Structure 1
């Protein structure tokens, strides 16, 4: 799937744009993320969430289940842009024990019907792997 890496204005005050072109771990993460969404595979999507975030969530957590359901509603088109910014070290974590280090902004353009949408997700690279950090 083609991906257009772009430098867009940061959405977090004081954050730095990070160039992840050539980062194999990030490319693998994004490919897995796209596959999970397009295949409507909740188990594959859960595997992208940091284990410490999963460990503290209740299996019947309505917020997590809502996120999971909504994440799988759409199909990732062939053309999109990603922008990753470094988060401040004091970025709020909510109820998650993991401090996110980066924010992913993922912009999509659907031609028919003409619809633009954006996904914002918090990330961390831990043990050489990228993970989603959910509050």
Structure 2
């Protein structure tokens, strides 16, 4: 009978798979970002209730420009960048290189952009004469 003192682990070299909550909620900058986004959207709701002629124009313009910074999609994209890097680093996701799409083979007689297609490439009505 053979006693084994150690067990080989193939996953020992790989870091553990990151959780989304560790990147979207736990860091201080994520909490700050979510808190300022919440305050922005609450402040925007109050600004909508105020008539536009009573609001300072520069404040209103700034609030409109901040929509792009505190948009929920932007918040997820900014905070998700680190999560994406961690997922790739641990090997869960693989980034494949981009390749140029191949142009499908088109019959030259039916391609409106090919001169060999006859009058089909002359799309302007004034060009095609009866």
Instruction: Mark yes or no: TM-score above 0.5.
Output: no
- Normalised by the length of structure 2, the TM-score is 0.24
More helix by share: 2
**Which structure has the bigger radius of gyration?**
2
More strand by share: 1
